[in-house]
Structure 1
């Protein structure tokens, strides 16, 4: 079914795109070589994470060759049909050599709306300095999943009066999970709504809701799970039908999880600042904020003037330790016959969809969640879901040709509420990068050094040399 949908929809988008193509914008083509090496048995954290799933962290040495092909309008015209598309292919030489398409997508734009088909990475947030790319649930840590969907960006219902201060970002997607998973042929539904309000000139408040649902497929324990016949139950968050597993009938259909997002942005003449907070939820207790201590807090600052010594900076704190408490429907020792607790949310894990919130063995969002694997080498979810971390990233320019970037993350990991580590595991991850752009040729060189120390990943040093040639 998935292959048929992709086979039918993607060529249709390409055909529509050829009709809507703006010939004034030529595609950009780039070729990239990346050599990675580590003193340990695996690459350091900041050499393997947030790389669109191209880097295999378990190999201490690997050579990557990446081809990028991108076409998109320089500016979207709401009165014209316009088309954008992208393709990236990665070849990796290592103990686990592979040749894989990472991105292949087309997007048709008209009047602020778009139709989408294919696998596409997320827009880079805060110059790539964020630990989460600004979203706990969907960073660029994993290989992009193919999807079909539609959405709008900065859509306004009203053009005048105080109601014109409101704008909306919305998207509705169905993802296809093509990797090996414990539940075969599962699907992933996603919808997001952000309401943006201009408080005053230069000030904007954003309130958002992110909703994800794993649905359908064939489970080795529960057999064939309800599919399209229960689609509205999945999308609307209703309880499971009589054909669903007992846990779905007692709660909601499928594996439902989501995120509340809040941000405040100040746009000044020379710089901008964004404060953001995201609150995760796995069930009703999370939607009622019973897990209130958990979430992502961040601040992002950026200068508008190019080639400044300090161009941008991000500071983030994330906590997932509370999870609505350590008890979940357990006998109450003080009140016989009653149960207590709505906790043990066990973020990004599920008793039916046991592979967890992963794409091709990588966490889709917060990269500090590292999956475990069963005897067949298939993701079996996250053995550690309780952690806290602080992160800081900076970048800038030493000259118009020389840029720099640093990342520093410290985290502490506790296991799960019913399977705590004997003592917390710590991880310190550091990275520094220097970029050099030739002034007269479309050629750039990058050198990254990284270091890990702790019990979560192998301690050690790593280095990466990157060469990129761009043809426009």
Structure 2
């Protein structure tokens, strides 16, 4: 119970640009969680199959942030939302030369009250109260009718990672996270959308190069540009459906998938925090990007370098003209102090160049302690 960041089951949190559903970009929301302690053997499989999973119920504590930062002119603001996160991953025996991990993640927003604004006036208020039964139903959302299709807003990923041990004890991994925001994405009708990565790990963390990650992100398909649901238009004579404009991390009823304005998914997609006009959704979720991470140790000095490039074309419904780009670089170095065991001193510098959102630079000096106080 409480607020605690849990690492991604697929990507390396130190070198990756972040998990698609639950990264370290935003602080964790307060909640209660239960699940397996890491991967555990599946009974009757003689150790060749392991399982990992968890279930979390959380409560967003950022109502004031959304209310204070919104322009309250067009769009909507939700208050009192809850989140339900669940995942399950299966992994083959990690002691063998080839290991495969397969699984799914789901995050849902439910409950709360949504206020809709049109030209600065309140157009509608919807109270989405929640019952105890809703916290059970949300685990597998079902159709509810013409005006309320599915309980809550659910997004997630299909995850796959394969790791092979190669010459000298090095491990080489390839992985993907296929994001989905509705049924079209679940059926993989959104083309090549998703995160694709390669990871190389040395057998020793003391190697000059102990880890390398290269990732490609593509979110430009979004199941096509058109979304048409007859239930949204009760008087229409067009009864066919077109499931597209997935508009990842945005929703027509709930707040954007963010906490205090910071995206809870991958940071490559610019968070709503950076919108300066009071627009409360992601403006650039139709994006492509490349990310590289390298770490290692030279003598007693550990280092890490992260670099990325991204280009955003807009979101699922509105184009960004012209498209915006940005390039980011971060480098850090740290070393232990021999005179005080457990203490490390570090320096870090970062720079951004581009319009997602703007040019920026920063530097930090850190002093950290890890161990037991005696």
Please indicate, yes or no, whether the TM-score normalized by the shorter chain is above 0.5. yes
Give the corresponding residue for 2:306. Answer: 407
Evaluate the alpha carbon distance shift between residue 256 and residue 192 of structure 1 in structure 2; reply closer, same or farther with a 3 A threshold: same
* Other-structure match for 1:139: 23
Partners of 2:346 and 2:48 lie apart in 1 by 42
Where do 1:145-160 residues align within 5 Å? 145-152=29-36, 153-158=38-43
1:141 Cα deviation from its structure 2 partner: 0.7
Distance in 2 of aligned mates of 1:267 and 1:151? 29
1:254 and 2:152 aligned: yes
**Cα distance change of structure 1 residues 457 and 284 upon mapping to structure 2, 3 Å threshold:** same
| Residue in 1 that maps onto 2:97 | 202
Name the residue aligned to 2:263: 363
Residue matched to 1:185:
80
**Aligned partners of 1:357 and 1:451: how far apart in 2?**
26
Equivalent position of 1:265 in the other structure: 163
- Cα offset for 1:359? 1.3
Q: Report the number of matched residues.
A: 340
Give, in angstroms, the shift of residue 120 of structure 1.
Answer: 0.3
Alpha-carbon shift at residue 347 of structure 1 (Å): 0.4
Deviations 1:90-132 (A, max 9, x none): xxxxxxxxxxxxxxxxxxxxxxxxxxx1110123753601101
Partners in 2 of 1:453 and 1:382 — Cα distance? 20
Contact residue 270 and residue 356 of structure 2 kept, 8 A: no
Distance 1:233 1:304, change over 3 A: same
| Selected match of 2:143 from 216, 227, 239 | 239
1:205-216 pair list within 5 angstroms? 205-216=100-111
Change (3 A) 1:185 1:275: same
Structure 1 pair 425/374, CA: closer, same or farther in 2 (3 Å)? Answer: closer
**CA drift at 1:337:** 4.5
Deviation at 1:429, TM superposition (A): 0.4
Q: Are 2:130 and 1:227 aligned?
A: yes
Q: d(CA) in 1 for partners of 2:298 and 2:99?
A: 32
Partner of 1:461: 361
- Alignment correspondent of 2:212: 313
Q: Hey, what does 1:13 align to over in structure 2?
A: none
TM-superposition CA deviations, 1:403-461 (whole Å, max 9, x none): 11111100000012431112210100011112122223233221112221111122143
For structure 2, list consecutive stretches of 5 or more residues without a partner in the other structure: 67-76, 116-123, 231-236
Structure 1: distance between partners of 2:105 and 2:13: 23
Task: Report the Cα distance in structure 2 between the residues aligned to 1:130 and 1:377, rounded to whole angstroms.
Answer: 30
Any idea what the Cα deviations from partners look like across 1:259-318, whole Å, max 9, x if unmatched?
100110124562222211010111111111100210000111111223211111100011
**Paired residue for 1:119?**
3
Q: Distance in 2 between matches of 1:325 and 1:203?
A: 36
RMSD: 2.6
Once residues 13 and 275 of structure 2 are traced to their aligned partners in structure 1, the CA distance between those partners, rounded to angstroms, is 39
Pairing 1:3-402 to 2, within 5 Å after superposition: 117-123=1-7, 126=12, 128-132=14-18, 135-152=19-36, 153-158=38-43, 161=46, 164-180=47-63, 181=66, 182-198=77-93, 201-220=96-115, 221-228=124-131, 229-240=133-144, 247=147, 249=148, 251-267=149-165, 270-329=169-228, 337=238, 339=240, 341-353=242-254, 355-372=255-272, 380-399=280-299, 401-402=300-301
Shift of 1:396: 1.0
Structure 1 residues 375 and 387, CA, compared in 2 at 3 Å: closer, same or farther? closer
1:231 Cα deviation from its structure 2 partner: 3.2
Are the equivalent residues in 2 in contact too, given 1:233–1:240 (CA < 8 A)?
no
Query: Given the superposition, is the C-alpha separation of residues 199 and 143 from structure 1 closer, same or farther in structure 2, using an over 3 Å criterion?
Result: closer
Question: TM-score, normalized by length of structure 1?
Answer: 0.67
C-alpha contact 1:361 1:378 (8 A) present in aligned 2: no
